[in-house]
Structure 1
Amino acid sequence: MTSVSRAQQQVQAAMKAVETAAATESEKAEMLMEIAMGLQQKPERVEDIFAAVDLYRLAMDLAPKGEVLGVARIRARMATALMAVPTEDATHLKEAKSEIEIALATLTAEGSDAEIAEAEMNLGLICQTLAGMHMLPIQPAISAYQRSLRTFDKVNYPKEFSILQSNLATAFLSIPFTDQSGKMREALAVQAFEEALTVVNLIDHPNEYAMLQNNLGNALQYVSSSHRIENGFRSLEAYDEALKVRTVQDMPEEYANTIANKANCLSNLPDDPSNPDGGNFGNLAEAVRLLEEAKTIFVSRGVVDKAAAVKEAIDELSAALGPSTILERSGLQ
């Protein structure tokens, strides 16, 4: 059975069930929504997502006109399906934004706090994606995430809290730092990653933990601060935490990303933190070693752009180390 026929069969089965069911219009609308959610959760092809959208629309048409809250809930679900359409075109994302904003108008007045917070989180995701496509400023995404955090706190909703903090940090870092407020946004990004890590741990959430530690390392490395060296060594600690999960055996590309990030950090730190002016020959040499390892992995896995970027960094650091080190690395000495 092809995934297209699966989608068609699901829609046809849903319509038949609605036509023959001894149920109220409200119950039939809910039935269609449940089928749509099932299609959306495990899509085999994009046609499944479009079929889910069609079912959500049918559900809204069937719902009694007076059930505005029920329609808003269906509309919010349909927006998440539109978000999931894989395309470089922003049409579906813009439609998702419009639908979830309409849903929020009702949810805010009549829905539960959790429903409102979920819709705000999804609105933030939509706005952040559109901002990445240069179709919106990032501020609407930040505002939506902050509204969602009023309900999705770390005690009662740790998973959602972690996602929101991570997305907030990424949003803060995406703003060009052209003024003094840029320093504040960098600090807020670091704080958000650290907040996310208060509810994510190595044992229960290894992949999320590693991603957050890697991103925290990046944020610390570039934050504008008078504590540059201190932040640099904190960044190294974060990368080492990430590498407890991102091993070369289990996650080679992620491992290569993190050791390349670590190399960049090392190249800007003194060998002796108590003597910041004492040079960093040792750290430069270790940085080159890590970059060489990362380049080998990227090349072997066909990640051409990253391999080229790492090679460029190797050349720059090798020049800083001096010609004798380059000869030694090449085996000619």
Structure 2
Amino acid sequence: MTPSITDSAVKAAIAAVVSESASADEKIQMLIEIAQGFQKKPKTAQDLRNAVSLYYQAYQMCGEEFPLLKARAQVGMSGTLQAIPDVSTQLLIQAKVGYEEALPTLQRLASPSEVAEAQMNFGLVLQSLVPYNLARITDSIQAYHEALRVFIWQDYPQEYAILYNNIAIAYLSMPLASEREYLRQGLAVQSFETALKHINLIEHPREYAMLQNNLGNALQYLVSSHPVENNLRAIVAYDEALKVRNSKDTPLEYANTISNKANALFNLPDDPENPENGNLKNLLQARAYYQQALEIFTKHQQMEQAEIVAKALQDVQLEIGHRA
């Protein structure tokens, strides 16, 4: 990839670095740091493209003389390419190649945590390419497990939670024959539960809520001869997530969880011991959740989610009408 450097801010940054009376490796480091500034707090997609341009300039300046800086520039460029909104498969492939080229050098010269971060992001780009048949999900899972050798829960709880969350989602996306469907779903549930042994509500609330919400989803759609029991477990998981997520501080996450909980309530009898009595109470609660979620998604212009919830709301209205 040869990014065109057109933005005036990027040109100015490069000119300033070039004019500095600094050594070559110091100038490369300056470019990488400026690129990281664009990457970490982008205001627009152009900021991300600016970061790519700066990383590429640093990469070119490295030649063969500064292998570690060259690898860092490649990893920075790959991570930025992943973050570009509506990223194309072409950019994802470029990101994948960047990680593949940089990782051997990082493994020789960088710290374990730097290598693990690159492996985690490499796993993510592989996972993003799987739907296009441009990567294997097993390779993505392997990259995540490599990162987990370093990102243990005691020292890196956030990364640990994200990795297990990604592993679980990867299992759920694995193409297995229908008779083995239960296996991948079971592995996903197991991954969420493994992470939740160490990620707790008090110390890591955001990660805790993410894992509980996604555990609820996995349980709700788990192929099993005990669907009611699984839905009850899913409700418990969603309620745990809702101890963190609320309409004021995390409206979109909250809307996501209450719509997921509504899906579970839709199929849950009011009295699991006497399912023949129906589920009008749960349907009414589901309707209230759908209405609230629809309002939030619409307010925040999340139209795809709003359409899904609107359809679910129509379905629950019909069911309530049949019960009335």
Q: TM-score, normalised by structure 2?
A: 0.85
Q: Output one character per residue of 1:18-77: Cα deviation in whole Å (capped at 9) or x when no partner.
A: xx22x3x33333333223223322233334333333333333343363543343233222
Q: 1:270 matched to which residue of 2?
A: 269
Q: 1:328 matched to which residue of 2?
A: none
2:105 is paired with a residue whose SS is helix
Q: 1:94 matched to which residue of 2?
A: 93
Letter in 2 for 1:125: L
1:180 is paired with a residue whose SS is helix
Distance 2:34 2:300 in 1: 39
Over 3 Å counting, the alpha-carbon distance change for 1:210 and 1:53 in structure 2 is: same
Over 3 Å counting, the alpha-carbon distance change for 1:284 and 1:116 in structure 2 is: same
1:271 is paired with a residue whose SS is coil
Q: Does residue 16 of the first structure (1) align with residue 15 of the second (2)?
A: no
Q: Which moved more, 1:149-158 or 1:39-48?
A: 39-48
Distance 2:50 2:298 in 1: 40
Report 1:152-191 matches (<5 A): 152-191=151-190
* 8 Å CA contact retained: 1:284, 1:317: yes
Distance 1:61 1:292 in 2: 54
Q: Does residue 5 of the first structure (1) align with residue 8 of the second (2)?
A: yes
How far off is 1:151 after superposition? 1.9
* 8 Å CA contact retained: 1:145, 1:164: yes
Q: Number of aligned pairs?
A: 319
Report 1:94-133 matches (<5 A): 94-133=93-132
Q: Output one character per residue of 1:146-185: Cα deviation in whole Å (capped at 9) or x when no partner.
A: 2211221212221211111111112222234533332121
Distance 1:214 1:190 in 2: 12
Q: 2:260 matched to which residue of 1?
A: 261
Q: Does residue 65 of the first structure (1) align with residue 64 of the second (2)?
A: yes
Over 3 Å counting, the alpha-carbon distance change for 1:254 and 1:72 in structure 2 is: closer
Letter in 2 for 1:312: K
Following superposition, which runs of at least 4 residues in structure 1 exceed 6 angstroms of deviation?
none
Over 3 Å counting, the alpha-carbon distance change for 1:223 and 1:236 in structure 2 is: same
Distance 2:116 2:38 in 1: 24
How far off is 1:266 after superposition? 1.4
2:153 is paired with a residue whose SS is coil
Letter in 2 for 1:153: I
Q: 1:142 matched to which residue of 2?
A: 141
Distance 2:176 2:313 in 1: 27
Over 3 Å counting, the alpha-carbon distance change for 1:218 and 1:7 in structure 2 is: same
Aligned-CA RMSD value: 2.8
Q: Which moved more, 1:169-178 or 1:261-270?
A: 169-178
Distance 2:152 2:52 in 1: 31
Q: 1:309 matched to which residue of 2?
A: 308
* 8 Å CA contact retained: 1:76, 1:100: yes
Distance 1:211 1:261 in 2: 13
How far off is 1:269 after superposition? 1.8
* 8 Å CA contact retained: 1:162, 1:195: no
Distance 2:70 2:296 in 1: 50
Q: Which moved more, 1:212-221 or 1:7-16?
A: 7-16
Letter in 1 for 2:186: A
Distance 1:300 1:123 in 2: 34
* 8 Å CA contact retained: 1:49, 1:85: yes
Return 5+ residue gaps in structure 1 as ranges. Answer: 326-333
1:183 is paired with a residue whose SS is helix
Letter in 1 for 2:190: Q
2:268 is paired with a residue whose SS is coil
Over 3 Å counting, the alpha-carbon distance change for 1:187 and 1:41 in structure 2 is: same
How far off is 1:87 after superposition? 3.8
Over 3 Å counting, the alpha-carbon distance change for 1:285 and 1:82 in structure 2 is: closer
Percent sequence identity is 44
Q: Which moved more, 1:8-17 or 1:214-223?
A: 8-17
Letter in 2 for 1:285: L
* 8 Å CA contact retained: 1:291, 1:314: yes
Q: 2:3 matched to which residue of 1?
A: none
Distance 1:275 1:43 in 2: 54
Q: 1:54 matched to which residue of 2?
A: 53
Over 3 Å counting, the alpha-carbon distance change for 1:10 and 1:46 in structure 2 is: farther
* 8 Å CA contact retained: 1:232, 1:265: yes
